[in-house]
């Protein structure tokens, strides 16, 4: 498709609607978007300021919205220009004939509208193409207003390209992301959820994603980043921890999946209009590097619920409501842990939280063991030693102080604790102006009871 033909046609439609032709800067903005330029690049080429170009672009999208009758944005226009294969454009009086493939579409009248075929199958963000076949079912969702607000700000206000949501197994990462999709889906052209539980190669994943994006386009694009630039895409990659080694520090890739790390860096470093969200038990190392570089990459460490977890106690029919906050705090507000423990309280104490908490000397683990074990199985030997040492401490550890541990050096301990933090097993807290580190109390209890198997 010739951009000059599109510019000429667009100018005619704007003139028919407003009585004014497009200004030269407006044409440059359209042409720049066609060439995947950002506003700064367009500003530099036209010797204008970034703010001026952005302001003129906003005016242009408003004009085109009035002409087309749809909500036009930068991502929509880019998609429109690159996806529509206009094979023949000719005027017949007051009608415009556009040829598509083997047929023609006639648009007549003073306010022509683009045919739906020009909208990438998305009706200008009215009906995004969504594939959530790999997503788990959203059964229960507990209030995560703060986290949802943070994610929306990152995506729309800060235009973050790569987001990592990490946290303990079954803490609610998938539920949070599904709720996010529910609230923002109309802001995207494409949304796809893919689980990495079967550990596909990067090549096969890219091929699958490209096929998904290309299904509504007449001309396939060469690379995945081209699709990210051409449309507003949201990609969720779940179970990312399957790419990482067990028995190694957090976020270290298995040899055959090291190219994923380069791919994630490419997503953050290359300009485009899309967002990729990674869901993982562990924080990928690339994210820390990208954040240090001030790249558009963010990390959300998803922790347990606060008072919202009282809904779990209510649903389970627990009694002694005044004790619910203590129970929630004991089990870190983890929704699955609380559901399991609540079932135990019903089974053993007829729902009485007071009776369950009567002896607080030990934290009851019970049916939580399989979940805890699956998390601890991934630890390196160094992390296991550090976890055992942390479990033996009566208070949070200040790493700046001299340590009485001879099994490993201070640098090894720092490395191990940093890795445990990136798994969500150790929490950093502030005490007397110093950062201190505390092992998750449920894991601490388990480790104390099974220390021999971890040593």
Predicted pLDDT at 100: 29
pLDDT in tens, 405-440: 566 777 888 889 999 999 999 988 877 777 889 899
pLDDT in tens, 25-74: 888 888 888 777 888 888 888 878 887 888 888 888 888 888 777 778 88
pLDDT, average across residues 311-329 = 92
Strand partners, 192: 131, 235
**CB atoms closer than 10 angstroms to residue 136:** 13
Quick one: which H or E segment has residue 108? strand 103-108
Rounded distance between C-alpha atoms, residue 272 and residue 403, angstroms:
48
Rounded distance between C-alpha atoms, residue 194 and residue 174, angstroms:
12
pLDDT in tens, 436-454: 898 998 998 889 887 644 4
Rounded distance between C-alpha atoms, residue 250 and residue 380, angstroms:
8
Name the 3-class secondary structure at 165. Answer: strand
Ordered structural domains, the chain, with CATH = 3-118 (no CATH), 129-301 (3.40.50.300), 311-361 (no CATH), 370-454 (1.10.10.10)
Look at residue 389 and tell me whether its pLDDT is greater than 80: yes
Lookup result for tokens 């990482």 = 244
Predicted pLDDT at 403: 63
Using alpha carbons, select from 308, 322, 309 the residue that is nearest to residue 352.
Answer: 322
pLDDT in tens, 121-160: 343 445 789 999 999 887 777 888 899 999 999 999 999 9
- Mean pLDDT lowest for which of 113-127, 281-295, 302-316, 412-426? 113-127
Name the 3-class secondary structure at 27. Answer: helix
Predicted pLDDT at 110: 31
Q: Structure tokens of 173?
A: 């990462």
Query: Which is higher by pLDDT, 90 or 203?
Result: 203
Q: Structure tokens of 202?
A: 């990067």
Predicted pLDDT at 288: 84
Q: Is-contact 71 65, C-beta < 8 A?
A: yes
């Amino acid at each position: 498709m010739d951009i000059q033909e599109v510019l000429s046609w667009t100018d005619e439609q704007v003139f028919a609607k407003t009585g004014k032709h497009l200004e030269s800067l407006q044409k440059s903005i359209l042409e720049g978007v066609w060439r995947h330029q950002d506003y700064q690049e367009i500003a530099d080429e036209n010797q204008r300021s970034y703010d001026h170009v952005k302001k003129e672009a906003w005016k242009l999208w408003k004009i085109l919205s009035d002409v087309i009758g749809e909500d036009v944005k930068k991502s929509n226009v880019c998609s429109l220009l690159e996806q529509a294969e206009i094979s023949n454009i000719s005027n017949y009086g007051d009608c415009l004939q556009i040829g598509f493939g083997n047929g023609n579409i006639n648009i007549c009248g003073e306010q022509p509208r683009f045919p739906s075929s020009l909208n990438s199958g998305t009706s200008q963000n009215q009906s995004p193409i969504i594939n959530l076949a790999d997503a788990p079912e959203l059964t229960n969702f507990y209030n995560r207003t703060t986290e949802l607000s943070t994610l929306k700000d990152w995506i729309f206000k800060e235009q973050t390209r790569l987001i990592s949501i990490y946290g303990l197994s079954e803490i609610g990462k998938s539920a949070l992301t599904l709720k996010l999709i529910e609230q923002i889906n109309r802001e995207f052209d494409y949304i796809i959820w893919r689980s990495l539980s079967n550990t596909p190669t990067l090549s096969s994943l890219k091929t699958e994603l490209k096929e998904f994006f290309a299904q509504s386009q007449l001309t396939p694009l060469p690379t995945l980043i081209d699709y990210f630039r051409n449309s507003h895409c949201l990609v969720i990659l779940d179970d990312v921890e399957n790419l990482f080694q067990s028995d190694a520090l957090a976020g270290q890739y298995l040899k055959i999946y090291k190219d994923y790390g380069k791919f994630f860096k490419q997503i953050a470093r290359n300009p485009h209009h899309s967002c990729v969200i990674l869901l993982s038990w562990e924080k990928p190392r690339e994210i820390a590097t990208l954040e240090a570089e001030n790249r558009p990459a963010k990390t959300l460490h998803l922790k347990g619920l606060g008072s919202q977890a009282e809904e779990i106690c209510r649903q389970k029919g627990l009694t002694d409501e005044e004790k619910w906050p203590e129970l929630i705090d004991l089990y870190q507000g983890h929704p699955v842990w609380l559901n399991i423990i609540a079932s135990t309280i019903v089974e053993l104490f007829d729902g009485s939280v007071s009776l369950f908490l009567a002896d607080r000397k030990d934290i009851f683990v019970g049916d939580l063991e399989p979940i805890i074990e699956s998390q601890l199985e991934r630890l390196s030997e160094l992390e296991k030693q550090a976890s055992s040492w942390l479990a033996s401490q009566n208070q949070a550890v200040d790493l700046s102080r001299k340590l009485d541990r001879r099994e490993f050096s201070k640098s090894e301990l720092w490395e191990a604790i940093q890795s445990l933090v990136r798994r969500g097993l150790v929490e950093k807290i502030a005490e007397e102006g110093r950062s201190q580190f505390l092992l998750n109390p449920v894991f601490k209890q388990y480790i104390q009871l099974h220390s021999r198997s971890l040593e």
